Structure 1
Amino acid sequence: MASSLFAQTSDTLTVTKNEKVIVVRDSLRLQEPYDPLAPSRAAFYSAVLPGLGQAYNKKYWKIPIIYIGMASGVYFYVQNDKDYDRFRNAYKRRLAGFTDDEFFGNGDTPVISNDRLIDAQKSARKNKDVSIIVSLAFYLVNIIDANVDAHLKQYNVSDDLTLEPNFEMNSINNEANYGLSLKLKLK
Protein backbone atom coordinates (compact mmCIF):
# COMPACT_ATOMS: atom_id res chain seq x y z
CA MET A 1 0.00 0.00 0.00
CA ALA A 2 1.37 3.35 -1.02
CA SER A 3 0.54 6.63 0.71
CA SER A 4 1.73 10.16 0.24
CA LEU A 5 2.34 12.56 3.00
CA PHE A 6 2.61 16.30 2.49
CA ALA A 7 3.86 18.58 5.13
CA GLN A 8 3.80 22.36 5.33
CA THR A 9 5.83 24.54 7.49
CA SER A 10 4.31 27.63 9.00
CA ASP A 11 5.28 30.83 7.33
CA THR A 12 5.87 33.93 9.42
CA LEU A 13 5.60 36.29 6.49
CA THR A 14 2.64 38.68 6.79
CA VAL A 15 1.34 40.59 3.82
CA THR A 16 -0.34 43.95 4.27
CA LYS A 17 -2.34 45.30 1.46
CA ASN A 18 -2.35 49.11 1.06
CA GLU A 19 -4.98 50.28 -1.36
CA LYS A 20 -5.19 53.87 -2.37
CA VAL A 21 -8.57 54.86 -3.66
CA ILE A 22 -9.00 58.01 -5.68
CA VAL A 23 -12.45 59.47 -5.42
CA VAL A 24 -13.31 61.71 -8.32
CA ARG A 25 -16.26 63.93 -7.72
CA ASP A 26 -18.61 64.09 -10.64
CA SER A 27 -18.54 67.46 -12.39
CA LEU A 28 -22.32 67.51 -12.66
CA ARG A 29 -24.30 68.70 -9.70
CA LEU A 30 -26.12 66.15 -7.64
CA GLN A 31 -29.57 65.60 -8.97
CA GLU A 32 -32.23 66.86 -6.65
CA PRO A 33 -35.65 65.29 -6.69
CA TYR A 34 -38.03 66.86 -9.18
CA ASP A 35 -40.52 69.23 -7.57
CA PRO A 36 -43.47 69.73 -9.95
CA LEU A 37 -44.86 72.61 -7.87
CA ALA A 38 -41.67 74.70 -7.90
CA PRO A 39 -42.58 76.70 -11.07
CA SER A 40 -46.06 77.55 -9.83
CA ARG A 41 -44.68 78.39 -6.39
CA ALA A 42 -42.11 80.76 -7.91
CA ALA A 43 -44.79 82.40 -10.08
CA PHE A 44 -47.07 82.83 -7.07
CA TYR A 45 -44.27 84.42 -5.04
CA SER A 46 -43.54 86.86 -7.87
CA ALA A 47 -47.22 87.71 -8.21
CA VAL A 48 -47.50 88.49 -4.50
CA LEU A 49 -44.28 90.51 -4.29
CA PRO A 50 -42.34 91.28 -7.48
CA GLY A 51 -38.86 89.79 -7.29
CA LEU A 52 -39.69 87.22 -4.62
CA GLY A 53 -39.88 84.45 -7.23
CA GLN A 54 -36.43 85.39 -8.47
CA ALA A 55 -35.16 85.21 -4.89
CA TYR A 56 -36.80 81.78 -4.57
CA ASN A 57 -34.90 80.69 -7.70
CA LYS A 58 -31.70 82.27 -6.33
CA LYS A 59 -31.42 84.70 -9.27
CA TYR A 60 -30.91 87.78 -7.12
CA TRP A 61 -29.38 89.90 -9.89
CA LYS A 62 -32.77 90.10 -11.66
CA ILE A 63 -34.55 91.79 -8.75
CA PRO A 64 -33.12 95.32 -9.30
CA ILE A 65 -33.96 95.13 -13.02
CA ILE A 66 -37.59 94.37 -12.20
CA TYR A 67 -37.90 97.20 -9.71
CA ILE A 68 -36.11 99.70 -11.94
CA GLY A 69 -38.45 98.84 -14.84
CA MET A 70 -41.58 99.12 -12.73
CA ALA A 71 -40.38 102.30 -10.99
CA SER A 72 -39.55 103.97 -14.31
CA GLY A 73 -43.07 103.25 -15.54
CA VAL A 74 -44.55 104.75 -12.36
CA TYR A 75 -42.20 107.77 -12.55
CA PHE A 76 -43.19 108.57 -16.14
CA TYR A 77 -46.85 108.08 -15.29
CA VAL A 78 -46.63 110.68 -12.52
CA GLN A 79 -44.63 113.06 -14.74
CA ASN A 80 -47.10 112.78 -17.63
CA ASP A 81 -50.03 113.18 -15.23
CA LYS A 82 -48.54 116.48 -14.02
CA ASP A 83 -48.00 117.64 -17.61
CA TYR A 84 -51.55 116.64 -18.54
CA ASP A 85 -52.92 118.67 -15.61
CA ARG A 86 -50.80 121.70 -16.62
CA PHE A 87 -52.04 121.61 -20.22
CA ARG A 88 -55.63 120.94 -19.17
CA ASN A 89 -55.69 123.81 -16.62
CA ALA A 90 -54.16 126.25 -19.12
CA TYR A 91 -56.75 125.27 -21.74
CA LYS A 92 -59.62 125.64 -19.27
CA ARG A 93 -58.39 129.09 -18.20
CA ARG A 94 -58.17 130.22 -21.82
CA LEU A 95 -61.74 129.07 -22.46
CA ALA A 96 -62.79 131.09 -19.39
CA GLY A 97 -61.16 134.19 -20.90
CA PHE A 98 -57.95 134.42 -18.84
CA THR A 99 -54.61 135.21 -20.46
CA ASP A 100 -52.31 134.49 -17.49
CA ASP A 101 -51.37 130.83 -18.01
CA GLU A 102 -47.74 129.71 -18.28
CA PHE A 103 -48.07 129.00 -22.03
CA PHE A 104 -49.50 132.37 -23.03
CA GLY A 105 -46.31 134.43 -22.87
CA ASN A 106 -45.94 138.21 -22.29
CA GLY A 107 -47.64 139.68 -25.35
CA ASP A 108 -51.20 139.70 -26.65
CA THR A 109 -50.75 136.56 -28.76
CA PRO A 110 -50.20 133.17 -27.07
CA VAL A 111 -46.89 131.34 -27.50
CA ILE A 112 -48.79 128.03 -27.67
CA SER A 113 -52.20 128.04 -29.35
CA ASN A 114 -55.35 126.36 -28.04
CA ASP A 115 -55.05 123.63 -30.67
CA ARG A 116 -51.51 122.86 -29.53
CA LEU A 117 -52.73 122.66 -25.91
CA ILE A 118 -55.36 120.11 -26.98
CA ASP A 119 -52.67 118.10 -28.83
CA ALA A 120 -50.39 118.29 -25.79
CA GLN A 121 -53.21 116.94 -23.57
CA LYS A 122 -53.77 114.03 -25.94
CA SER A 123 -50.06 113.29 -26.06
CA ALA A 124 -49.70 113.41 -22.27
CA ARG A 125 -52.73 111.13 -21.85
CA LYS A 126 -51.29 108.65 -24.36
CA ASN A 127 -47.91 108.72 -22.59
CA LYS A 128 -49.67 108.06 -19.27
CA ASP A 129 -51.29 104.98 -20.76
CA VAL A 130 -47.99 103.76 -22.17
CA SER A 131 -46.34 104.23 -18.76
CA ILE A 132 -49.00 102.07 -17.12
CA ILE A 133 -48.53 99.41 -19.80
CA VAL A 134 -44.74 99.44 -19.25
CA SER A 135 -45.17 98.94 -15.50
CA LEU A 136 -47.67 96.11 -16.02
CA ALA A 137 -45.40 94.52 -18.63
CA PHE A 138 -42.49 94.45 -16.16
CA TYR A 139 -44.80 92.95 -13.56
CA LEU A 140 -45.98 90.21 -15.94
CA VAL A 141 -42.47 89.51 -17.23
CA ASN A 142 -41.40 89.17 -13.59
CA ILE A 143 -44.00 86.41 -13.05
CA ILE A 144 -43.25 84.63 -16.33
CA ASP A 145 -39.49 84.79 -15.73
CA ALA A 146 -39.83 83.25 -12.26
CA ASN A 147 -41.96 80.43 -13.66
CA VAL A 148 -39.67 79.66 -16.61
CA ASP A 149 -36.55 79.92 -14.50
CA ALA A 150 -37.96 77.45 -11.96
CA HIS A 151 -38.70 75.03 -14.84
CA LEU A 152 -35.20 75.37 -16.26
CA LYS A 153 -33.59 75.07 -12.83
CA GLN A 154 -34.84 71.48 -12.64
CA TYR A 155 -33.96 70.63 -16.23
CA ASN A 156 -31.93 67.42 -16.41
CA VAL A 157 -28.69 67.82 -18.33
CA SER A 158 -27.08 64.40 -18.78
CA ASP A 159 -25.16 62.34 -21.31
CA ASP A 160 -28.28 60.42 -22.27
CA LEU A 161 -28.94 62.91 -25.02
CA THR A 162 -26.05 64.05 -27.19
CA LEU A 163 -25.88 66.00 -30.41
CA GLU A 164 -22.63 65.91 -32.33
CA PRO A 165 -21.41 66.78 -35.80
CA ASN A 166 -20.69 63.93 -38.18
CA PHE A 167 -18.06 64.12 -40.96
CA GLU A 168 -17.61 61.30 -43.47
CA MET A 169 -15.71 61.01 -46.71
CA ASN A 170 -17.64 59.73 -49.71
CA SER A 171 -15.44 57.07 -51.30
CA ILE A 172 -17.04 57.38 -54.74
CA ASN A 173 -16.35 61.03 -55.52
CA ASN A 174 -13.95 61.86 -52.66
CA GLU A 175 -16.12 64.63 -51.23
CA ALA A 176 -16.91 65.25 -47.61
CA ASN A 177 -20.41 64.54 -46.31
CA TYR A 178 -21.47 66.65 -43.38
CA GLY A 179 -24.17 65.66 -40.99
CA LEU A 180 -25.49 65.85 -37.50
CA SER A 181 -26.14 62.80 -35.37
CA LEU A 182 -28.47 62.63 -32.42
CA LYS A 183 -27.96 59.92 -29.85
CA LEU A 184 -30.61 59.09 -27.31
CA LYS A 185 -29.95 56.51 -24.60
CA LEU A 186 -32.99 55.11 -22.94
CA LYS A 187 -32.47 53.28 -19.70
Structure 2
Amino acid sequence: MNKIIFIGLLLFLFGNAAIFAQAKKDAVLQSKDTLKLVEIDPLTPAKAAFYSAILPGLGQAYNKAYWKIPIVYGAIGTSLYLYADSKKKYNEYRDAYKSRLSGNPDPNYAYLTDTQLISAQEFYQRNASLSGFFVLGFYVLNIIDANVHAALRQFNVNQSLSVRPEITPDAVTLKANLGLTLNYRF
Protein backbone atom coordinates (compact mmCIF):
# COMPACT_ATOMS: atom_id res chain seq x y z
CA MET A 1 0.00 0.00 0.00
CA ASN A 2 2.87 2.34 0.83
CA LYS A 3 4.46 1.64 -2.56
CA ILE A 4 1.26 2.67 -4.35
CA ILE A 5 1.04 5.92 -2.39
CA PHE A 6 4.74 6.63 -3.03
CA ILE A 7 4.40 5.99 -6.78
CA GLY A 8 1.26 8.13 -6.92
CA LEU A 9 3.04 10.95 -5.10
CA LEU A 10 6.01 10.76 -7.50
CA LEU A 11 3.73 10.86 -10.53
CA PHE A 12 1.87 13.81 -9.06
CA LEU A 13 5.05 15.78 -8.38
CA PHE A 14 6.62 15.09 -11.79
CA GLY A 15 3.29 15.74 -13.51
CA ASN A 16 2.92 19.15 -11.88
CA ALA A 17 6.51 20.04 -12.72
CA ALA A 18 5.83 19.27 -16.37
CA ILE A 19 2.68 21.39 -16.35
CA PHE A 20 4.36 24.51 -15.08
CA ALA A 21 7.49 24.14 -17.21
CA GLN A 22 8.04 27.00 -19.61
CA ALA A 23 9.15 26.76 -23.19
CA LYS A 24 12.46 28.22 -24.28
CA LYS A 25 12.22 31.84 -25.26
CA ASP A 26 14.85 31.54 -27.96
CA ALA A 27 13.00 28.78 -29.80
CA VAL A 28 12.25 29.75 -33.38
CA LEU A 29 8.78 29.07 -34.69
CA GLN A 30 8.63 27.65 -38.18
CA SER A 31 5.50 27.38 -40.21
CA LYS A 32 4.49 24.16 -41.87
CA ASP A 33 3.55 24.00 -45.50
CA THR A 34 0.02 22.62 -45.14
CA LEU A 35 -0.87 23.31 -48.76
CA LYS A 36 1.81 21.01 -50.12
CA LEU A 37 0.34 18.72 -52.75
CA VAL A 38 0.68 15.02 -52.00
CA GLU A 39 0.60 12.79 -55.04
CA ILE A 40 -2.16 10.20 -54.88
CA ASP A 41 -2.17 7.36 -57.37
CA PRO A 42 -5.78 6.22 -57.85
CA LEU A 43 -4.64 2.91 -59.35
CA THR A 44 -2.70 1.77 -56.29
CA PRO A 45 -5.65 -0.09 -54.68
CA ALA A 46 -6.48 -1.75 -57.99
CA LYS A 47 -2.86 -2.85 -58.47
CA ALA A 48 -2.71 -4.30 -54.95
CA ALA A 49 -5.98 -6.20 -55.49
CA PHE A 50 -4.79 -7.48 -58.87
CA TYR A 51 -1.49 -8.69 -57.42
CA SER A 52 -3.31 -10.45 -54.58
CA ALA A 53 -5.68 -12.08 -57.06
CA ILE A 54 -2.76 -13.45 -59.08
CA LEU A 55 -0.82 -14.76 -56.07
CA PRO A 56 -2.21 -14.55 -52.53
CA GLY A 57 0.04 -12.36 -50.41
CA LEU A 58 1.55 -10.48 -53.34
CA GLY A 59 -0.76 -7.52 -52.75
CA GLN A 60 0.35 -7.40 -49.13
CA ALA A 61 3.97 -7.38 -50.31
CA TYR A 62 3.10 -4.54 -52.72
CA ASN A 63 1.66 -2.61 -49.75
CA LYS A 64 4.78 -3.41 -47.70
CA ALA A 65 2.66 -5.19 -45.08
CA TYR A 66 4.95 -8.20 -44.99
CA TRP A 67 3.68 -9.42 -41.62
CA LYS A 68 0.30 -10.24 -43.20
CA ILE A 69 1.72 -12.71 -45.73
CA PRO A 70 2.14 -15.61 -43.24
CA ILE A 71 -1.41 -14.99 -41.99
CA VAL A 72 -2.76 -15.20 -45.54
CA TYR A 73 -0.89 -18.39 -46.32
CA GLY A 74 -1.71 -19.87 -42.92
CA ALA A 75 -5.44 -19.28 -43.36
CA ILE A 76 -5.60 -20.51 -46.95
CA GLY A 77 -3.19 -23.40 -46.32
CA THR A 78 -5.05 -24.64 -43.25
CA SER A 79 -8.35 -24.52 -45.09
CA LEU A 80 -6.84 -26.38 -48.04
CA TYR A 81 -5.41 -29.05 -45.73
CA LEU A 82 -8.77 -29.53 -44.00
CA TYR A 83 -10.49 -29.74 -47.40
CA ALA A 84 -8.07 -32.41 -48.65
CA ASP A 85 -8.26 -34.37 -45.38
CA SER A 86 -12.06 -34.31 -45.34
CA LYS A 87 -12.22 -35.41 -48.99
CA LYS A 88 -9.81 -38.26 -48.27
CA LYS A 89 -11.85 -39.50 -45.30
CA TYR A 90 -15.09 -39.10 -47.24
CA ASN A 91 -13.69 -41.29 -50.02
CA GLU A 92 -12.50 -43.89 -47.48
CA TYR A 93 -15.95 -44.20 -45.87
CA ARG A 94 -17.66 -44.16 -49.27
CA ASP A 95 -15.39 -46.94 -50.57
CA ALA A 96 -15.99 -48.96 -47.39
CA TYR A 97 -19.75 -48.58 -47.81
CA LYS A 98 -19.61 -49.49 -51.53
CA SER A 99 -17.49 -52.57 -50.83
CA ARG A 100 -19.92 -53.62 -48.10
CA LEU A 101 -22.83 -53.30 -50.55
CA SER A 102 -20.95 -55.33 -53.18
CA GLY A 103 -20.46 -58.22 -50.75
CA ASN A 104 -16.78 -57.99 -49.71
CA PRO A 105 -16.67 -55.66 -46.66
CA ASP A 106 -13.52 -53.84 -45.69
CA PRO A 107 -12.14 -55.38 -42.45
CA ASN A 108 -10.95 -51.97 -41.21
CA TYR A 109 -14.54 -50.71 -41.07
CA ALA A 110 -16.28 -53.94 -39.99
CA TYR A 111 -17.15 -52.48 -36.58
CA LEU A 112 -19.33 -49.76 -38.18
CA THR A 113 -22.93 -50.25 -39.25
CA ASP A 114 -24.31 -49.09 -42.59
CA THR A 115 -25.97 -46.03 -41.03
CA GLN A 116 -22.71 -45.09 -39.31
CA LEU A 117 -20.85 -45.31 -42.62
CA ILE A 118 -23.48 -43.15 -44.31
CA SER A 119 -23.43 -40.55 -41.51
CA ALA A 120 -19.60 -40.47 -41.60
CA GLN A 121 -19.75 -39.83 -45.36
CA GLU A 122 -22.23 -36.99 -44.86
CA PHE A 123 -20.11 -35.53 -42.04
CA TYR A 124 -16.90 -35.46 -44.05
CA GLN A 125 -18.66 -34.26 -47.19
CA ARG A 126 -20.13 -31.33 -45.22
CA ASN A 127 -16.70 -30.57 -43.70
CA ALA A 128 -15.08 -30.66 -47.14
CA SER A 129 -17.69 -28.24 -48.48
CA LEU A 130 -17.20 -25.87 -45.56
CA SER A 131 -13.43 -26.01 -45.91
CA GLY A 132 -13.77 -25.24 -49.62
CA PHE A 133 -15.89 -22.20 -48.79
CA PHE A 134 -13.28 -21.10 -46.26
CA VAL A 135 -10.53 -21.39 -48.90
CA LEU A 136 -12.57 -19.23 -51.24
CA GLY A 137 -13.48 -16.80 -48.43
CA PHE A 138 -9.88 -16.35 -47.29
CA TYR A 139 -8.78 -15.86 -50.90
CA VAL A 140 -11.37 -13.10 -51.40
CA LEU A 141 -10.55 -11.61 -48.00
CA ASN A 142 -6.88 -11.49 -49.04
CA ILE A 143 -7.83 -9.46 -52.12
CA ILE A 144 -10.09 -7.12 -50.15
CA ASP A 145 -7.42 -6.59 -47.48
CA ALA A 146 -4.81 -5.63 -50.07
CA ASN A 147 -7.23 -3.22 -51.75
CA VAL A 148 -8.36 -1.53 -48.53
CA HIS A 149 -4.83 -1.27 -47.15
CA ALA A 150 -3.60 0.37 -50.36
CA ALA A 151 -6.52 2.81 -50.33
CA LEU A 152 -6.07 3.73 -46.67
CA ARG A 153 -2.32 4.10 -47.05
CA GLN A 154 -3.00 7.12 -49.28
CA PHE A 155 -5.48 8.60 -46.83
CA ASN A 156 -4.35 11.95 -45.48
CA VAL A 157 -3.63 11.55 -41.78
CA ASN A 158 -1.95 14.61 -40.35
CA GLN A 159 -2.12 16.74 -37.26
CA SER A 160 -4.69 19.21 -38.59
CA LEU A 161 -7.38 17.38 -36.63
CA SER A 162 -6.47 16.26 -33.14
CA VAL A 163 -8.09 15.54 -29.81
CA ARG A 164 -5.85 15.67 -26.79
CA PRO A 165 -6.19 16.17 -23.07
CA GLU A 166 -4.81 19.40 -21.69
CA ILE A 167 -3.88 20.43 -18.16
CA THR A 168 -3.54 24.16 -17.61
CA PRO A 169 -2.93 26.05 -14.37
CA ASP A 170 -5.62 28.38 -13.10
CA ALA A 171 -4.35 31.98 -13.16
CA VAL A 172 -5.69 32.83 -9.70
CA THR A 173 -5.32 29.69 -7.58
CA LEU A 174 -2.53 28.00 -9.60
CA LYS A 175 -4.39 24.69 -9.35
CA ALA A 176 -4.43 22.37 -12.33
CA ASN A 177 -7.52 22.50 -14.55
CA LEU A 178 -8.28 19.44 -16.67
CA GLY A 179 -9.80 19.82 -20.08
CA LEU A 180 -10.17 18.28 -23.49
CA THR A 181 -9.41 20.23 -26.63
CA LEU A 182 -10.55 19.56 -30.16
CA ASN A 183 -8.26 21.26 -32.66
CA TYR A 184 -8.80 21.64 -36.37
CA ARG A 185 -6.32 23.62 -38.44
CA PHE A 186 -7.19 24.79 -41.93
The TM-score, its normalising length taken from structure 2, stands at: 0.69
Once the two structures are superposed, the pairs formed by residues 76-155 of structure 1 within 5 Å of their partners are 76-104=82-110, 111-155=111-155
Quick one: distance in 2 between partners of 1:153 and 1:56? 12
In angstroms, what is the RMSD of aligned CA positions? 2.7
Structure 1 SS opposite 2:163:
strand
User: Which of structure 1's runs of 4+ aligned residues deviate more than 6 A?
Assistant: none
1:48 partner letter: I
Shift of 1:97: 2.2
Shift of 1:166: 6.6
Shift of 1:75: 1.3
Shift of 1:32: 4.7
Q: 1:158 to 1:99 in 2, by over 3 A?
A: closer
Aligned length: 147
Structure 2 SS opposite 1:102:
helix
Q: 1:32 to 1:53 in 2, by over 3 A?
A: farther
Sequence identity of aligned pairs in percent?
A: 45
Task: Give the greater-gyration-radius structure (CA).
Answer: 1
**Structure 1, unpaired ranges of 5+:** 1-21, 105-110, 169-176
1:162 partner letter: S
**2:52 maps to 1:40:** no
**Structure 2, unpaired ranges of 5+:** 1-27, 169-176
Quick one: distance in 1 between partners of 2:143 and 2:178? 43
Quick one: distance in 1 between partners of 2:155 and 2:106? 66
Shift of 1:31: 7.8
Other-structure match for 1:60? 66
Whether the 8 Å contact between 2:40 and 2:154 is mirrored in structure 1 is yes
Quick one: distance in 2 between partners of 1:71 and 1:100? 32
Whether the 8 Å contact between 1:93 and 1:101 is mirrored in structure 2 is no
Shift of 1:98: 2.2
Quick one: distance in 1 between partners of 2:131 and 2:84? 9
Q: 1:77 to 1:164 in 2, by over 3 A?
A: same
Q: 1:33 to 1:183 in 2, by over 3 A?
A: same
Whether the 8 Å contact between 2:165 and 2:181 is mirrored in structure 1 is yes
Relative to its length, the structure with more helix (as a share) is: 2
Deviation string, structure 1 residues 36-79 (Cα, Å, up to 9, x no partner): 22112111111111111111111112112211211111111111
Quick one: distance in 1 between partners of 2:134 and 2:179? 45
Q: 1:51 aligns with which of 49, 57, 65?
A: 57
Deviation string, structure 1 residues 77-96 (Cα, Å, up to 9, x no partner): 11111111110111111122
Other-structure match for 2:6? none
Deviation string, structure 1 residues 104-156 (Cα, Å, up to 9, x no partner): 0xxxxxx1111010000000001101111121121111111111111221122
The TM-score, its normalising length taken from structure 1, stands at: 0.69
